[in-house]
Structure 1
Amino acid sequence: MPLGPSSRQLSYFMEVLRTGSVRGAADACNVEPSVVSRQVAALEADLGVSLLERRGRGVVPTEAAELVLAYCRDRVAGNDTLRTQLLEIEGLKRGRLHLMVGDGFVDTVMRLVVGRFCGEFPGVEVTVEVGGTSETVRALAEDRCDLGLALSPPTSSAIHVVSQRAHPICALMAPDHPCSRIEAPLTLALLQKYPLALAAPGTGLRTLIQSAADDECVELRPSFVSNTVMPMKHYAEAGLGLTFLSAQAAATELADGRLIARPIANSILQSSRVQLIVRDRPRLSPALTRLIRTFDESQYFSAANDPQPMDGR
């Protein structure tokens, strides 16, 4: 009875899809292209389906190949989980974890969670990668990361929400900005009249802001665009205009009085949430379970850790 695809066949197959060609896979694996071709052909013969279609000098996956790729990812994830579970016997002395975190969350996550975890389990290699909301969801679904922290991610059957909390988006500005003297929550219709620094298109924050603007039929034309938080804060702090971020993302600047945060009168921005997400699977690895527990113990998802919008007076 056939035992299914071999690890060698699947490894070469995944490399072909990753590089887009047999030659690219061969170069990456340091073997001759004929070796890769034979292994992929053997895999196709064993499964009784065609997996690759030639396009120019490269190849593209067939519909069947997508199913095999999903199987490969599950198999790799299962191997990683087994390896980590075995390491649990040693008290998490070794292992690997990959987090993908939104840019605005990095400082707080490092201070409250990752630093604590690394101090307690120095043998576990922790990778923190900055990624946007859509990128984080995609990476989890494809098993390219273990845990994500994202701003109002889209619903996905492949993703499970571990924890979440309210994370309203505010208007950040220098203390002498004209809007700082307004008592009521600021409207987008008012804010559009001033120079704006916005997150880059495609980021979770920009998508959220665009949804809010579309909801109110307001056009927000940025004077400055950045795919990271720090330049946007510098822009506002320099008095060049205002920007849209959470109070948490500017906690240091708010505490120092270099910026103030004012609430925005928009239900989409007021109801935004930060979510801790994993791929939906029956069992998480011990290392990942322990990291999630560290999030809980740090009270990261407690509202008490969020600076509140301030009027600067």
Structure 2
Amino acid sequence: MQLRALLYFDELVRTNSMRAAAENLNVAPTAVSRQIENLEHFFGTALVERSNRGIKLTAAGELLAARAGRTFRELEHVHQLIDDLQGLQRGRVVIYANGATVANLLAPVLAQFSLRYPKLRFSVMITSARQAIEALAAAEADLVVTLFAPKMQGVKVRLRSEITYDLITWADHPAAGRPDIPLKEIAGLALALPDKSFGARQAFEEQFEKLGIDLDPVFVTGALEMLKELVLQKAAVTLLPALAVQREIEAGMMAAIPVAAGKGVRTTIDLCVAPDRQLSFAAGKLVDFIEGFMRGPSGRKPARTGSMSV
């Protein structure tokens, strides 16, 4: 079986048309058809069903399509590793992250890293935690950064660090100068929080429920920028990791007040890689850079683990 046949098949699956696949590959439709026939002969079964409406994959074709896509992604990864052996500092890193909060934490890291390695390119996909982990397993992602990640087998947690959610207010809010604030007092403030599909919101609900308090936020939104804007407009306060609004804090626009008595929501932020894939030069350097960023000026090292459920 030739790699060309798989390439033609992969393009046929992507376009769902012999003619469109041929145009994209710059060959005659008969060439695509011939390569598909070669594959069917090799596997001893039909892979596609042809009709005037296009093509439809058989069960065997569906199976091959899933594996072929991963095969090509792995070949691209091998190409990057070969480049690395030749000392070429170029390439692309695909990062999946869950939630706007994580994206906001990643942005300054990637900005600084890109200045250090200007030849590298980055794709950042914001999805749910489960979709991010599934993308890693399917070799669609090089790295995954998650909060409230689902438990899934076969994921290597490269680094782990704990973050705490503080009360985030505008700079001259009455609580802004205090060393901490009790949960009961927070419940009485005008709150802007994410909706209940978010892991952070579920954790907030659990914390307040222990005190017999029902959360009744004034604003509910899944957008981090909306949460921040509501605080800046002095319409509400919110609960976020201080790192997520570090720029606004440094600019004197916001303040972060810890929750009293250690009652703030804590969660781990995990950077995950696939246990059976060697990181490329670009991805490996980025992992090291993120670790340094998450360690912070205190020099505290995040927890490291091996392969585990996440």
Q: Is the 8 A contact 1:237 1:258 kept in 2?
A: yes
2:134 is the alignment partner of 1:138: yes
Letter in 2 for 1:161: V
Q: CA deviation at 1:192?
A: 5.2
Q: Is the 8 A contact 1:164 1:274 kept in 2?
A: yes
Letter in 1 for 2:240: L
Q: Is the 8 A contact 1:92 1:121 kept in 2?
A: no
Q: Give the whole-Å Cα distance in 1 for the aligned partners of 2:286 and 2:127.
A: 19
User: Which residue in 2 is equivalent to 1:84?
Assistant: 80
2:284 is the alignment partner of 1:284: no
Query: Larger deviation: 7-16 or 245-254?
Result: 7-16
2:236 is the alignment partner of 1:233: no
- 1:262 maps to which of 257, 267, 272: 257
TM-score by length of 2: 0.72
Q: Is the 8 A contact 1:22 1:33 kept in 2?
A: no
Q: 1:7 to 1:191 in 2, by over 3 A?
A: farther
Instruction: Classify the secondary structure of the residue corresponding to 1:167.
Output: strand
* TM-superposition CA deviations, 1:231-284 (whole Å, max 9, x none): 211101211112232111011222344322234579996331111112231422
Letter in 2 for 1:229: L
Superposed, 1:164-175 pairs within 5 Å as 164-175=160-171
Query: Larger deviation: 24-33 or 72-81?
Result: 24-33
Letter in 2 for 1:235: L
User: Which residue in 2 is equivalent to 1:104?
Assistant: 101
- 1:208 maps to which of 192, 200, 211: 200
Instruction: Classify the secondary structure of the residue corresponding to 2:285.
Output: helix
Letter in 1 for 2:119: G
Query: Larger deviation: 35-44 or 222-231?
Result: 35-44
Q: Is the 8 A contact 2:170 2:232 kept in 1?
A: yes
- 2:294 maps to which of 300, 309, 313: 300
User: Which residue in 2 is equivalent to 1:244?
Assistant: 239
2:117 is the alignment partner of 1:121: yes
TM-score by length of 1: 0.72
Q: CA deviation at 1:45?
A: 4.2
Letter in 2 for 1:207: G
User: Which residue in 1 is equivalent to 2:308?
Assistant: none
- 1:185 maps to which of 182, 187, 203: 182
Q: 1:90 to 1:200 in 2, by over 3 A?
A: farther
Q: Is the 8 A contact 2:49 2:58 kept in 1?
A: yes
For these two proteins, the number of residue pairs brought into alignment is 294
Instruction: Classify the secondary structure of the residue corresponding to 2:130.
Output: helix
Q: Give the whole-Å Cα distance in 1 for the aligned partners of 2:272 and 2:38.
A: 38
* TM-superposition CA deviations, 1:202-223 (whole Å, max 9, x none): 5xxx233125425738665554
CA RMSD of aligned residues (A): 4.1
Q: Give the whole-Å Cα distance in 1 for the aligned partners of 2:6 and 2:263.
A: 44
Q: 1:93 to 1:36 in 2, by over 3 A?
A: same
Q: Give the whole-Å Cα distance in 2 for the aligned partners of 1:58 and 1:197.
A: 50
Q: Give the whole-Å Cα distance in 1 for the aligned partners of 2:35 and 2:271.
A: 39
